[in-house]
Amino acid sequence: MAPASPYAGCRVCLTTLHGKERVLARPFFHGLGAELLVAGCDTDQLGSFSGEIERLADPLTTCRRKAALGLAATGLPLGLASEGSFGPHPAVPFLPVGQEVLVFIDLERELTVVEQRLELRTTFASRTVRPAELSSAAFTAWLHQVRFPSHALIARPAQPSPRAARLCIKAIRSRADLEGALGHCAAASDDGAVLVETDMRAHCNPTRMASIRRLGFQLVRRLRELCPACGSPGWGRTGTLAGLPCRCCGTATSLTAQERWGCAACGRTELKPRRDGRREADPMHCPWCNP
């Protein structure tokens, strides 16, 4: 039988205005026996997706601050927050990716556990259009690609006139609303064009919500693992080591050879074999056999 959860019966404060408890409550309850309590703090003061307030810190720092806001508001010792950032893939610039971060804070154990994932399944995209193009084949194809209307959009003037500098219409979920937003933003744009973007806030983007759910399960699995040295929750993978040897010639490839596991409380680390048990790389990844 699995050891008892270190957080059974505890309440964990989740800082969100965007309904993330819908996907995080289950893993925390079923995996840890913990109950989520939503702290609806105004996290927009930390910056927002639609860019009205410029983000001041990197996503991980923003996420830690968000969790701390909830702890301060509720007085609970356990806090949770999520943060996403979106942009081009670091190695493949035409491929959009999402970076999702979950931070769990345990004030009594002085523990911060971070789980992250690079998400290739994202609808993140933007496009400049004019109202007359609403029914064009190209824009229709783009709307299909970003999964509108199940996934919401944001519109703003492409060249905002001085009085419309802050005009930004969010959570557009219907064709009628999109038509209205295009007309409104075009009228406030010096060149009559509108910048349409995917609304990446979790409650507006089911694809992102699903990726936060996967990350929630990942974090809960980690919190159930206790450090072999000090017994703190959160023993898990903190990084990987490249160098898996080529099957033909033994040269080190860029593939993962070992995983580094670590404890956030005492600093203990261990190297472990790959989870899938692979000990050799296919020669197609080898810089010598397949340069």
Q: Distance between CA 116 and CA 15 in Å, rounded?
A: 17
Q: Is 68 in the site for Zn ion (CB under 5 A)?
A: no
Residues in contact with Zn ion, total (CB under 5 A)?
Answer: 16
CB of 149 to Zn ion, least distance (A): 48
Work out whether 238 is an interface residue with Zn ion (CB under 5 A): no
Does residue number 255 form part of the binding site for Zn ion (CB under 5 A)? no
β-partners of residue 97 are 87
Contact 161, 189 (CB under 8 A): yes
Q: Report if residue 263 touches Zn ion, rule: CB under 5 A.
A: yes
When asked if residue 227 is in the footprint of Zn ion (CB under 5 A), the reply is yes
Of 127-135, 199-207, 262-270, 272-280, the segment contacting Zn ion by CB under 5 A is 262-270
Taking the least distance from each CB to Zn ion, the nearer of 138 and 249 is 249
Q: Does 266 bind Zn ion (CB under 5 A)?
A: yes
Written as six digits, the tokens of 282 are 């296919």
In the chain, % helix, strand, coil (3-state, to 5) comes to 30, 30, 40
Q: Is 286 in the site for Zn ion (CB under 5 A)?
A: yes
Going by their DSSP bridges, the two strands 194-198 and 269-273 should be labelled as unpaired
Instruction: Indicate whether 229 belongs to the interface with Zn ion (CB under 5 A).
Output: yes
Q: Which is nearer to Zn ion, 131 or 233 (CB)?
A: 233
265 binds Zn ion (CB under 5 A): yes
Q: How far is the CB of 12 from Zn ion (least distance, A)?
A: 21
Which residue, among 25, 22, 3, has the nearest Cα to 12 in the 3D structure?
25
Q: What dihedral do alpha carbons 83, 84, 90, 95 form, nearest 10°?
A: 170
274 vs 215: CA distance, rounded Å = 20
Residues engaged in binding Zn ion (CB under 5 A): 227, 229-230, 232, 246, 248-249, 251, 263, 265-266, 268, 283, 286, 288-289
